[in-house]
A = this chain, B = another copy of it.
Amino acid sequence: MITVYHLENSQSFRILWLLEELEAEYSIEPYLRDKVSSLAPESFKRLHPAGTSPAIADGEVFLPETNAIVDYILDKHPGSPLRPAPDAPEREKYLYWFHAAQGSFMPMLLMSYVLGQMAQRAPLVAKPVLRIAASKTTDLLVTPRLKGLFEVMEADLASRNWLAGDHITAADIVMSYCLTSAEGRLPLLTSFPRVLGLLERMKERPAYQRALDRERLAFA
Contacts and interface: CB of A to CB of B under 8 A. Distances in A.
A200 B66 CA distance: 29
Interface residues of A, number: 53
Interface string A87-130: 00001100110111011101100110010001000100010011
A65 B148 contact: no
A60 to B, nearest CB: 10
Interface in A27-85: 37, 39, 45, 48-52, 61, 63-68, 71-72, 75, 78
A197 interface: no
A141 interface: yes
A197 B92 CA distance: 35
B50 A99 contact: no
Contacts of A91: 72, 75
Give me the 3 closest cross-chain CB pairs, A-B, nearest first. A75-B86, A49-B148, A68-B99
Interface of A: 37, 39, 45, 48-52, 61, 63-68, 71-72, 75, 78, 86, 91-92, 95-96, 98-100, 102-104, 106-107, 110-111, 114, 118, 122, 126, 129-130, 132-133, 136-137, 140-141, 144-145, 147-149, 151-152
Given A39-B141, A126-B133, 18 more contacts: A48-B148, A49-B148, A50-B145, A50-B148, A50-B151, A51-B144, A52-B104, A63-B95, A64-B96, A64-B100, A66-B99, A68-B95, A68-B99, A68-B103, A107-B107, A107-B110, A122-B133, A130-B133
